[in-house]
Every structure is written in C-alpha cells, then in structure tokens.
C-alpha cells in the first residue's frame, strides 16, 4: 500500500514536470524573433534563411496570436514619426535682407513647436550669392544651388526667353521656385519670399488634398481671364512628374501678349515667369489640382480689394473682404509688399493700410527681438532714441540706411 502511494506521488510530480517543460517550450517558441526562428533551421544561403523564417512563422502562428494582438495595441515609435514639411526660399543676391530669412526660419520653427509636422528649412540660391550661404547654413537652412529648371539657350522661342529673363522682379531666377516640386521627401513644401513672415501655426493647409495652394494677386490681374497666383506664397505637394511638365512648358516658351499658349492667362506683370506659369497650369492645364486660399489670413499683403476710386470688387464678387481691415490676430502669415519690408524702416503713411501695416511690422521686430535674445546677442547696438519705436531700436532712422542688421559673423548661429 505504501509502495503504491509512493509510486502515485512520484508519478504526479513527473507529470507536473512534463507539463512545465512543454509549457515553457511552447511559450518560448511563440515568442521567436526572426533570428531565433532562423537559428532553429539548417544554415545556408539567403534563400534558406528566408524560407526558414517563413516556416517558423507558420509553425507558431496560432501560439503567437495573443502576442500579435498585443503588438497591434502597442505604441510603436515608428508609427509616431511626424511627417515633414519644408519652408523654402529663393535667394538671388546678398544683402542685409538675409535677416528676413533668419527671422522667417525662427518663426517657422516656433510655430511648429506644437505641430503635427516636423519642419526643415531649404534655401535655393544662385551662383552670385556668396556671403549669405554661410549665414543660412549656420542657421539651419539647407542651401541648394540647383540652376535654372530650363537653361535660356534651351528655350525654343528665343524671343520669349530674352523678354522673360528681364521680366518681373527677378527674371528667370523666379523659376527657381519650381524646384520645390522636386523635394519629394517632404509632405508639403511652402515656398515663401524672404520678405514674408509666419505668425501662427498653419497645419490645416498642409492637410488639404491639393497639389498647389496659393493666394490671388487681384491688383495685378489686368486683362487676364483669371487672377494671377501671388508668387510669394506657394504651398506645394512635391511631384517630379509635375516639375517635368513645367519644364516642358518653359522649354517650348509659347508665351505672347495673349498669355501662355494663347489662353489669356499670363498677360500681366510677372506673367512670363512664376506668377504666370503657375496660374496657367492650375487654372488651365490642371484646374482641379489647385486651390486659392483667403489672402487676408494667408500671405496677407494688406491690399485694396477694389478697383481704383470705387467699391467695385476686383474679384467680381458683391461683397469682397477688405484685408486692410483684417484683425491682426487673424493674420497667420504676411507678405511685406505694399507695407514695405521691415528693413526699409519705412513710415506707414497710407491712411487706408497704415494701421495693419504698422502692427505687422512691429510683430516682425518682436520676433527678431525674441530671436536675438534667445541667441544671447549683445543688444547694445540698438538705438534707444529712434523715432521708430516699434522697431525696438533696430532702426536708427528711416530708409534702408537707417536699418541695423542682426549683428553676427558669417558662420555664427543666431537661431
């Protein structure tokens, strides 16, 4: 009787040990890594290892199901990586207005501190730009010298090519902005002129499913059948194929007094270059891929919405919005054209836009002040007795000669 009881106890413990062994075996097998699975099979070439991994996954499929469910609910770092947008500029000459790029870059990064998107800074430059390169690179700008999208000598219509290289503000160099389409590593690229500024987060426009977002320049419309795209604010969904389409249009050079390809689009100031070709492309060639934004919120130039000396709206609506009356707190980005650049230290004497222009200038100087303080710049250079109080001492007087640039060395990081 004692022998049987002893045998039963021993058998019970043996059975428990066997159960624990198989439990441990199957639990470990259900948690195989790719390397573990490969190691359990015969060594060999790449094909053998790939086949081994597949076989192992098939073997443990049912056992690893709870693990798979858990992994679906895990927060993986790679799933939380933010998409990137780029703020791009085109630099065609050296000068103190490189301060515009530094303040713009600082403002862009500041507005993305709590954004769905990470941000990079990209500067397209021409060969003649020298001193600005080191300054931009030292302050986080990726500097690229891409050359013209189409060389002048490659344009079939040489009459157009000769007129185009001297037209608008910057001639053929305006086409450098088209390189934004080639930056396919970014979710969106927003190309701004250097005399622009960003005051608020603009995540909402990076989520609009369009290839091009723009604001209209109604005061430049003239006899054009459509509103010109304002070339200082282009929100691009990069596409190499679209870039090649633009190259083909430029290479052909079919632009006359009737606009691009006789469409009636592009017969206005800047129509031979970026403002005309983008208008033509997204109003005529691919009208469904572009969208106009509210210019009193984005790229606000504080412009007059009416025909001269009337209350007839340039956009042909009955009730157009007057950006000159816009609440400054609703302006997300501004473009210092009609208001003049902050570094011109101008008096805003036009009674119809001086109020908002002055506020936007002052906000630009506040951003520059924040940038300099964050960078431990010696502020003793500033003029406390200036008549332009809103400049915070960065203008010693009126005009370009009155402007005091950010004091920095070529290779010094300011932002």
**Residue 175 and residue 63 share a domain:** no
Residue 8 has pLDDT above 90, yes or no: no
Of 7-16, 87-96, 128-137, give the lowest mean pLDDT range: 7-16
pLDDT over threshold 80, residue 20: no
My answer on whether 141 and 251 are in the same domain is yes
Residues 6+ apart with CB under 8 A from 128: 92, 93, 94
State yes or no: pLDDT of 269 exceeds 90: no
What pLDDT shows up at residue 97?
83
56 and 183, same domain (yes or no): no
Which of 66-75, 81-90, 148-157 shows the lowest per-residue confidence on average (mean pLDDT)?
66-75
Strand ranges of the sheet holding 212-216, from the earlier edge strand across to the other edge: 141-144, 117-125, 83-91, 188-192, 229-236, 212-216, 290-292
Domain span at residue 316 reads: 83-402
Q: pLDDT tens, 109-165? A: 999 999 999 999 999 999 999 999 999 999 999 999 999 999 999 999 999 999 999
**Predicted local confidence at residue 412, as pLDDT:** 59
Out of 4-13, 93-102, 258-267, 269-278, pick the least confident. 4-13
141 in helix, strand or coil?
strand
Other beta carbons within 10 Å of 48: 13
Give yes or no for residue 373 having a pLDDT over 80: yes
The tokens describing 407, both together, are 């004091």
- Residue 185 sits in the same domain as residue 239: yes
Q: Are residues 55 and 100 in the same domain?
A: no
Does some domain include residue 163?
Answer: yes
What is the model's pLDDT at position 415?
Answer: 58
Q: Give the SS3 label for residue 190.
A: strand
Same domain, 35 and 106: no
Model pLDDT for residues 271-323, shown as the tens digit of each residue: 999 999 999 999 999 999 999 999 999 999 999 999 999 999 999 999 999 99
Is 125 exposed, middle or buried, given 0-12, 13-18 or 19+ CB atoms closer than 10 A?
buried
Mean of the per-residue pLDDT values of the chain: 83
Listed residues 18, 37, 69: the one ending a domain? 69
Q: Give 117-120 contacts, CB < 8 A, sequence gap 24+.
A: 117/82, 117/83, 117/84, 117/85, 117/187, 117/203, 117/206, 118/82, 118/83, 118/84, 118/85, 119/84, 119/85, 119/86, 119/87, 120/84, 120/85, 120/86, 120/87, 120/186
Longest dimension (CA), the chain: 120
Q: Kindly state the average pLDDT of the residues 183-198.
A: 98
More confident residue, 257 or 411: 257
407 part of a folded domain: no
pLDDT at 349: 83
Percentage with pLDDT > 70 across the chain = 79
Q: Picking from 1-5, 70-74, 220-224, which range would have the lowest pLDDT averaged per residue? A: 70-74
Q: How many domains does the chain have?
A: 2
Residues 95 and 45 in one domain: no
Residues 320 and 196 in one domain: yes
Give the Cα separation of 178 and 248 in Å (integer).
13
Contact 218, 305 (CB under 8 A): yes
Statement to judge: residues 116 and 88 lie in one domain: yes
Three-class DSSP category at 234: strand
Mean pLDDT of 231-241: 98
Q: Which residues contact 402 (CB under 8 A, 6 or more apart)?
A: 345, 388, 395, 396
Determine the Cα angle at 145 with ends 208 and 159, to 5°.
Answer: 85
Cα–Cα distances (Å) from 282 to 45, 181, 230, 243, 375, in that order, read 53, 14, 13, 13, 42
Q: For the chain, report the end-to-end CA distance as a whole number of angstroms.
A: 90
How many helices (DSSP H) and strands (DSSP E) are in the chain? 11, 11
For every residue of 346-406, DSSP letters joined together read -----TTTHHHHHHHHHHHHHHHHHHHHHTT--GGGS-TT-S-GGGTTSBSSSSGGGB---
* 160-189 tens-digit pLDDT: 999 999 887 788 999 999 999 999 999 999
Q: Report d(CA 88, CA 179) in Å as an integer.
A: 10
10, 38, 69 - which closes a domain: 69
In this structure, the answer to whether residues 168 and 221 fall within a common structural domain is: yes
**Which whole-number Å values give the CA distances from 80 to 117, 209, 399, in the listed order?**
11, 21, 48
Half-sphere exposure (CA, 13 Å, Cβ side) for 362? 12
User: Do 117 and 242 fall into the same domain?
Assistant: yes
> Quick one: pLDDT at residue 77?
37
In a domain, 308, yes or no: yes
Q: What angle do CA 223, 227, 233 make, to 5 degrees?
A: 135
| Residue 76 located in a structural domain | no
Q: List the structure tokens of 290.
A: 């572009």
Dist. CA 212–CA 225, nearest whole Å: 19
Whether 174 is in a domain gets the answer yes
Looking at residue 203, what is its pLDDT? 98
Structure confidence at residue 28 (pLDDT):
41
The answer to pTM > 0.85 is no
Q: What is the DSSP string of 18-31?
A: HHHHHHHHHHHHTT
Q: How confident is the model at residue 141, as a pLDDT?
A: 98
Contacts of 279 (CB under 8 A, 6+ apart): 224, 226, 227, 228, 229, 265, 266, 271
Find tokens 């606000």 and name the residue: 300
On whether residue 78 sits in a domain, the answer given is: no
Beta strand pairing status for 196-198 and 333-335?
antiparallel
- Predicted confidence (pLDDT) at residue 70 exceeds the cutoff of 50: no
pLDDT for the residue numbered 35: 36
Give mean pLDDT, residues 17-23.
Answer: 48
CATH number, domain of 324, equals 3.90.550.10
Using the 3D structure, point to which of 22, 37, 69 is the last residue of a domain.
69
> Based on the domain organization, do 11 and 145 belong to the same domain?
no
Distance between CA atoms of 265 and 255, rounded to whole angstroms? 9
Query: pLDDT by residue (tens digit) across 45-67?
Result: 333 233 322 332 233 232 222 22
Residue 298 token pair: 């984005």
Contact between 352 and 323 (Cβ < 8 Å): no
Flag whether pLDDT at 34 surpasses 50. no
């Amino acid at each position: 009787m004692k022998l049987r009881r002893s045998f039963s106890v021993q058998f019970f413990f043996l059975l428990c040990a066997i159960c624990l062994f198989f439990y441990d075996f199957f639990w470990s097998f259900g948690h195989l890594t790719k390397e573990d699975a490969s190691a359990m099979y015969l060594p060999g070439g790449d094909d053998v290892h790939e086949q081994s991994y597949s076989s192992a996954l098939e073997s443990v499929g049912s056992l690893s199901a709870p693990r798979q469910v858990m992994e679906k609910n895990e927060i993986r770092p790679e799933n939380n990586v933010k998409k990137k947008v780029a703020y791009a500029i085109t630099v065609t000459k050296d000068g103190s207005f490189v301060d515009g790029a530094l303040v713009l870059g600082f403002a862009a990064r500041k507005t993305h501190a709590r954004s769905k998107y990470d941000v990079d800074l990209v500067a397209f430059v021409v060969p003649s730009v020298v001193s600005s390169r080191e300054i931009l690179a030292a302050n986080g700008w990726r500097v690229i010298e891409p050359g013209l999208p189409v060389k002048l000598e490659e344009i079939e219509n040489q009459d157009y090519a000769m007129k185009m290289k001297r037209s608008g503000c910057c001639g053929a160099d305006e086409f450098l902005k088209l390189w934004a389409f080639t930056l396919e590593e970014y979710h969106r690229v927003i190309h701004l002129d250097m005399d622009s500024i960003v005051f608020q987060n603009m995540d909402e426009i990076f989520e609009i499913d369009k290839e091009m977002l723009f604001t209209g320049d109604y005061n430049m419309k003239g006899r054009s059948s459509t509103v010109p795209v304002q070339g200082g604010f282009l929100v691009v969904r990069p596409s190499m194929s679209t870039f090649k389409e633009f190259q083909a249009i430029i290479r052909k050079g079919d632009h006359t007094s009737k606009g691009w390809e006789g469409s009636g689009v592009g017969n206005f100031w800047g129509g031979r270059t970026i403002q005309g070709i983008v208008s033509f492309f997204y109003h005529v060639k691919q009208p469904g891929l572009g969208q106009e934004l509210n210019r009193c919120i984005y790229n606000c130039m504080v412009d007059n919405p009416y025909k001269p000396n009337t209350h007839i709206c340039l956009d042909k609506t009955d009730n157009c919005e007057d950006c000159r009356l816009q609440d400054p707190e609703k302006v997300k980005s501004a473009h210092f054209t009609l208001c003049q650049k902050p570094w011109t230290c101008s008096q805003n004497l036009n009674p119809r836009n001086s109020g908002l222009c002055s506020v936007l200038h002052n906000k630009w100087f506040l951003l520059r002040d924040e940038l300099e303080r964050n960078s431990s710049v010696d502020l003793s250079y500033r003029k406390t007795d200036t008549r332009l109080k809103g400049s915070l001492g960065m203008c010693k007087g009126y005009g370009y000669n009155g402007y005091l640039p950010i004091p920095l060395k070529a290779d010094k990081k300011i932002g």
